[in-house]
């Protein structure tokens, strides 16, 4: 992990990083800290793929570490968090809300297949999540496909229509 951290800090040409399916959410916290230290100092990676890493089911510390790195990073514009099981712990949506309300460069987030509609008190928690994201001035697209059953999706869409959100929330 130390070699990857060093490469992320020193490499000035890499623009895309795919770490999908590495179980980072359940991995050692110290490894996650090293990896994210490298990411927070990298100024060239624009596309970051963390698909299927169990962040939602893993250790809170690792999700927090990821969040701090994303907030500090000044280059990432596209983030893929597809199928990270965020529905498994109700606190995850609050952690994500705190992260994405503070990022300064991310324009597109993919949260496909995280079953966010299965979180306890799904309507209120997802409304608070979306309201916080709308405050972020750099976000333009959030992919939320296969997260909500029909009636919840319609309620959320009505709320977004009412707010006249500048962000495109894709839920279908």
102's tokens = 């503070």
What is the longest distance spanned by two Cα atoms in the chain? Answer: 49
Per-residue pLDDT, 95: 94
CATH architecture under which domain 6-170 falls: Alpha-Beta Horseshoe (3.80)
Domain map (residue ranges) of the chain: 6-170
Mean pLDDT, the chain, as a whole number?
A: 94
Say which residue the tokens 């503070």 belong to.
Answer: 102
Tell how strand 16-18 and strand 47-49 pair up. Answer: parallel
Question: Looking at the chain, how many residues does it have?
Answer: 172
- pLDDT single digits (tens) 59-117: 889 999 999 999 999 999 999 999 999 999 889 999 999 999 999 999 999 999 999 99
Tokens 């990083």 found at = 17
pLDDT of the residue at 163:
85
Does the structure show a pLDDT above 90 at 153?
A: yes
Whole-prediction pTM value? 0.95
Nearest-angstrom CA–CA distance, 31 and 163 = 41
């Amino acid at each position: 992990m130390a070699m990857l951290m060093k490469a992320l800090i020193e490499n000035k040409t890499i623009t895309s990083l795919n770490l999908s399916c590495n179980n980072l959410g359940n991995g050692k916290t110290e490894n996650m800290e090293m990896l994210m230290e490298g990411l927070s100092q990298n100024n060239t990676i624009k596309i970051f793929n963390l698909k299927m890493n169990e962040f939602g089911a893993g250790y809170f510390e690792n999700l927090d570490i990821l969040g701090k790195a994303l907030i500090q990073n000044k280059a990432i514009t596209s983030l893929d968090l597809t199928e990270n099981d965020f529905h498994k712990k109700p606190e995850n949506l609050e952690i994500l809300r705190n992260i994405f309300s503070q990022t300064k460069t991310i324009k597109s987030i993919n949260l496909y297949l995280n079953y966010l509609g299965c979180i306890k008190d799904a309507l209120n928690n997802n409304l608070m999540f979306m309201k916080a994201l709308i405050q972020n001035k750099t976000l333009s697209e959030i992919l939320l496909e296969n997260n909500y059953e029909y009636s919840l999706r319609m309620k959320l869409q009505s709320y977004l229509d009412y707010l006249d959100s500048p962000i495109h929330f894709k839920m279908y």
